[in-house]
Structure 1
C-alpha cells in the first residue's frame, strides 16, 4: 500500500514528517504519550484517550496482534496514534486479527515516525493542541473545521450493563468512561452487586438503587467543567462510602473545595512511583491524566515521587478513598489494587456486614 505523508505541527511551529498507510485525515487536538511497553490494546480502548493523539514510546507495536477480550471498553478511542513501527506479523495463538485491521475499522489516524523521542520531548514543552495535515498549505482554521475537536462526552454512554452476582453489597459505578478491569477487580472481591449508571443520572439513580457504596470512574476531560456533576456528588459526600479513580478523584476533590489545575506535562505511563505519606512502602502505578489537585491539609494522602503532586487521599470520617492513578492498572502493576480491599472493608464497617 502506498504511504501518505502527514505533517505533525506543534504550536511553536516545529514540525515532524510522518508516514501513514492505514488511515489519514486532518486533525486538531490534544496529544499525549504513554511509556507502556505492553498492553497497547488496553491503552487504545481506554476512554480516557478519547479523541486524542496517543504517542507510543515503545519502538514496536502490534507484535502480539489484537484480541477483543483485552478491550477495556466497547471500542477504540484515540483519534490517532503515532509510533515508530507497526507490525502485521504477529505471534499469538489468542490473536483474532492484526492491530492494523482494527485501526482501519475505527479509522484511527496512524502515523509512523523515526523521531518518536523528539516528539515526546516536544510534548513535554507544550500544553497546547497540535495539528496534523497532509496538505502543507492548509491553515489552522481549516484544520479546526475538518478535525474532530476534543469534545468527548463518554459520560453519555454505558459501556457495560448491570452485572448481578448473588451478593450482600451493592456498588454503583458512576460512568464517566469506566474500564472493564475496574469491574473485574470488584468481582474478584466476591459478594458484590454492581450497577453501572450514566453520569448524568447520578442522584436519581442513587435514590432508586440505594447502593452501599459508590465508585466514581475514570474518564476524559476537565473536572472543573463538570459543574452539575460536582453539585450532585456533593450531596452524597460523608453519607456513603465513595471510591474515586482519576477523573472521579478530581471530582471528589472539587466537592471538598480543593483546586484542580492543568499540569505542564501530565502523567502518562505504567511506571509512576507514588508513596503514602504515613507509609514507607513505594507503589508503582499506572497514570493517565493532564490535571491534578492541590495537596490536602490532612496527613492521609499519596504523592508522586516524580514531582510530589497529589496522587490521592483517604478520609475515613468522610467515607472517601480517592486515587489519581489507576488501581485496576491495565496495562501496569497491581501495587495499589489493595485499595479495592480497603474500599470493601469501609463499606462493610459502614453497613455492619461481616
Structure 2
C-alpha cells in the first residue's frame, strides 16, 4: 500500500523490487517515454506516478536509458504491460525495476492519486507491504526528513570526456540526462563532464568555448557554492542552463526560486517565446521555479513563459553571453520543438570566440 502523509491510502499490487521506500510522491502526464522518465536523475528521491493508464507496452531497451543507475524511489501505475511488444525490447518493466532495485505499485487508481497531489501538492509517502497499522505508517512517513544533498547523490564523482573534434564544452553534471550529451555531440562538441562541485578556476583552466549547466534534482538553494561558481564564470564565458541549471543561473543573478505545489512533469507543456510569440510544446521535469517578481530587469530578461500558469521558462543575461530555459530541449522523451536552443548555444560560443558582442 501507498500511505500519503495527508492520510490518504492507496492499495494495489507490488512489482519490481520488494523493498520498502519513503519519498516525495509526484505525477507525470506523459503518454510515452516511461523508460527515460524512470532513469531521469531529476526524479531522485521521488515516487513517480504515471497518469497514463498503461505503462511498459514497449518494454525496456538499452538505448533509452538517461542514466545507468537511476535513483527514483518507486514507480506507481494503473497497469503495467507484462508482455511488451517492440523489436528493441530486452526485458519488461517488472524485470527492469527488479534489476535496478526499484519498487513498483500497480492496480492503483492513478487518476484519484493525481487529483490528491494536484489539490494538496506533492507530499511525502510510504510504499510498503508491512502489516503495520495505518497510524504507525503515518507516523513513520510524517517523521521522515527528506534529504537535501540530492545533487551530490547523482552527480558524477570523476570527470570524463565524450570526445569530438570541435568546440570544447564543459558540462557541469547536476544529474544530467545522457540525451544532453547526444545533442552536443551531434553538433561536433568535444564534451568534458565535470562534478557539480568543480571550481570556477578548474573550469577556466580547461579553456572551454562554453559551459552547460544541466538538469538535476532538489532545491537549487541547497547549492550555494555552485551559485558562487556561476557568478565567477558568467562574465568570462558563454553559459547555457537547463532546468536546475536555469534556476541556479537565476539565483546567481539575484533572483529567487520557490517550491511549486506539484511541479511540471510531462512532455506537453506549452511555452511562449516572448520575442516572437512562437509556441513550443516542451518536455519538463521540475518542482521548483524562478519567482517572476524577483527577476532584476537590469540584469536578466525573461525570454519564455509557460502558458498555463505564467511561470518563468527562460532567461537571458543583459550583459553576458548567458541564457537558460526551465524545460528540456534535448527532448528525450518529448517533442523536439525546442532543439534549436542547442544551435543557439553553438552560435553564442562562436560569436564569443570571434570577439563579437552578444547581449
Matched, 1:57 2:51: yes
Determine which of 158, 165, 175 is the counterpart of 2:173: 175
Secondary structure class of the residue paired with 1:70: coil
Shift of 1:154: 3.6
Match of 2:309 in 1: 307
Deviations along 1:204-241, one digit per CA (max 9) or x if unpaired, are 43133111100001001110111111111111122110
Alignment coverage as a number of residue pairs:
346
Match of 2:341 in 1: 339
Match of 2:283 in 1: 286
Matched, 1:349 2:346: no
Shift of 1:321: 1.3
Matched, 1:101 2:100: no
Matched, 1:208 2:205: yes
Contact map agreement 1:300 1:315 (CA 8 A) in 2: no
Contact map agreement 2:57 2:85 (CA 8 A) in 1: yes
Matched, 1:133 2:125: no
- Distance in 2, Cα, partners of 1:342 & 1:317: 17
Residues 233-248 of structure 1 mapped to structure 2, 5 A cutoff: 233-248=230-245
Match of 2:190 in 1: 193
Contact map agreement 2:155 2:175 (CA 8 A) in 1: no
Contact map agreement 1:275 1:302 (CA 8 A) in 2: yes
- Distance in 2, Cα, partners of 1:337 & 1:122: 34
Contact map agreement 1:268 1:289 (CA 8 A) in 2: yes
Alignment gaps of 5+ in structure 1? 1-5
- Distance in 2, Cα, partners of 1:148 & 1:350: 42
Query: What TM-score, normalized to structure 1?
Result: 0.91
- Distance in 2, Cα, partners of 1:112 & 1:63: 14
Contact map agreement 1:301 1:311 (CA 8 A) in 2: yes
CA gap 1:223/1:240 in 2 versus in 1, 3 angstroms: same
Deviations along 1:267-306, one digit per CA (max 9) or x if unpaired, are 1100000101121210100111110002233554210101
- Distance in 1, Cα, partners of 2:74 & 2:269: 24
Contact map agreement 2:158 2:194 (CA 8 A) in 1: no
- Distance in 2, Cα, partners of 1:41 & 1:205: 35
Query: What TM-score, normalized to structure 2?
Result: 0.90
Match of 2:77 in 1: 83
Shift of 1:166: 1.5
- Distance in 2, Cα, partners of 1:264 & 1:158: 32
Shift of 1:142: 4.2
Match of 2:12 in 1: 18
Deviations along 1:143-177, one digit per CA (max 9) or x if unpaired, are 5899985753245425983012112x211000001
Matched, 1:36 2:30: yes
Contact map agreement 1:73 1:159 (CA 8 A) in 2: no
Match of 2:165 in 1: 166
Contact map agreement 2:46 2:74 (CA 8 A) in 1: yes
Out of 232-241 and 302-311, give the one that drifted further: 232-241
Match of 1:3 in 2: none
- Distance in 2, Cα, partners of 1:151 & 1:175: 14
Shift of 1:141: 5.2
Contact map agreement 2:282 2:331 (CA 8 A) in 1: yes
Secondary structure class of the residue paired with 2:160: coil
Deviations along 1:298-330, one digit per CA (max 9) or x if unpaired, are 554210101001001123531111000001011
Shift of 1:51: 2.0
CA gap 1:270/1:210 in 2 versus in 1, 3 angstroms: same
Contact map agreement 2:15 2:94 (CA 8 A) in 1: no
Alignment gaps of 5+ in structure 2? none
Contact map agreement 1:158 1:196 (CA 8 A) in 2: no
- Distance in 1, Cα, partners of 2:103 & 2:234: 42
RMSD over aligned Cα, in angstroms?
Answer: 2.2
